[in-house]
Amino acid sequence: MNNPSNPCGSNFTRKHLEDILDVAARNYLPIIADEIYAGMNWTEHPFTPLYEIPSKVPILTIGGLAKRWLVPGWRVGWVVLHDRDGAFKEVRRGIGNLTQTQLHPNTLFQAALPKIFKTPQSFFDGVVKELQKNAQVVKEELGKAPGLKVVEPQGALYAMVSLVQKLN
DSSP-assigned states of every residue in 39-53:
T-B-SSSPP--GGGS
CATH of 1-168, one of 3.40.50.620, 3.90.1300.10, 3.40.640.10, 3.40.630.10: 3.40.640.10
Among the listed residues 160, 158, 154, 157, the one whose alpha carbon sits nearest the alpha carbon of residue 45: 154
Residues 46, 67: Cα–Cα separation, whole Å: 18
> Is the CB of residue 17 less than 8 Å from the CB of residue 31?
no
Residue spans per domain, the chain: 1-168
Q: Please, what is the Cα angle at 50 between 54 and 67, to 5 degrees?
A: 160
The pLDDT of residue 75 is 83
Q: What is the structure's pLDDT at 97?
A: 87
Identify the pLDDT of residue 168. 62
Q: Taking the chain (168 residues) in consecutive chunks of 10 residues, what is each chunk's mean pLDDT?
A: 88 96 97 95 93 96 94 88 91 87 74 93 96 92 90 85 76
Asked if residue 78 lies in contact with residue 65, where contact means CB atoms within 8 angstroms, the answer is no
Backbone dihedral region of 157: left (phi > 0), alpha (psi from -120 to 50 degrees) or beta?
alpha
pLDDT (0 to 100) of residue 28: 94
